[in-house]
Chain A
């Protein structure tokens, strides 16, 4: 089954404790992205990647890091989480925009609470 998986699905942590949210896709998609969803603010792109070792900042990259060492994986790293990073996070993958079928496939979301 074609899918994007994220782990963990729920996480409660404390300020300053480094954490990683994993994201993996099995569709051989070149593009991957991380978004955060906050009430009334829609989905805001944190980082995106167009291929292995190619990443770029989205609209809200502060406080986050990413890496793309393999095509299927795109982990989101919070080196020193703060309460304002409490949010619902989505990972997404897609073929390149130039392709005919270029919609994003989203993971199930990770609910993060930073105390």
Chain B
């Protein structure tokens, strides 16, 4: 069975703190994609990053960085020097390449609150 676990339901930090959002996944597929999406208070869902199962390179984009470790089935997301505008619900998601292509499994989301 495919599963995505975001164990942190809510996180609250003060502006400029670093924060890491955890994502652990389960799948029997050897080829898959992992994603992070952001849902700000306005409600829309915005794509942040994708990683395929063959690419374990970490990625940095401005204040955002992602750490993909296949050995621990984790795809964690770190925000450095958080800002109030980072307050949102963040979802980790898993999509399949071969079997069940088109199917996606999302985690329950982590609500991040950044206080000024």
Interface residues of A (CB under 8 A from B): 31, 33, 35, 40-45, 48-50, 56, 58-59, 88, 90, 92, 96-98, 102-106, 108-109
Contacts and interface: CB of A to CB of B under 8 A. Distances in A.
A55 B103 CA distance: 11
17 contacts: A40-B108, A41-B108, A42-B6, A42-B106, A48-B102, A56-B102, A56-B103, A59-B105, A88-B43, A102-B33, A102-B95, A103-B35, A103-B47, A104-B37, A104-B47, A105-B47, A106-B45
Nearest to A30: B102
B108 A90 contact: no
A50 B109 CA distance: 25
B45 A90 contact: yes
Contacts of A90: 45
A106 B45 CA distance: 6
Main secondary structure of the interface of A (DSSP, over half): strand
Given A40-B108, A42-B91, A103-B47, A58 B103 contact: yes
Contacts of B97: 97-98
B96 interface: yes
Contacts of A42: 6, 91, 106-109
Nearest to A41: B108
Contact of A97 (B33, B43, B47, B105): B33
B12 interface: no
A98, A104, A109: which has the most chain B beta carbons within 10 Å? A104
Nearest to B2: A59
A37 to B, nearest CB: 9
B108 A45 contact: no
A28 to B, nearest CB: 16
Interface string B79-111: 000000000000101011100111111111100
A97 B108 contact: no
A96 B96 CA distance: 10
A33, A56, A97: which has the most chain B beta carbons within 10 Å? A97
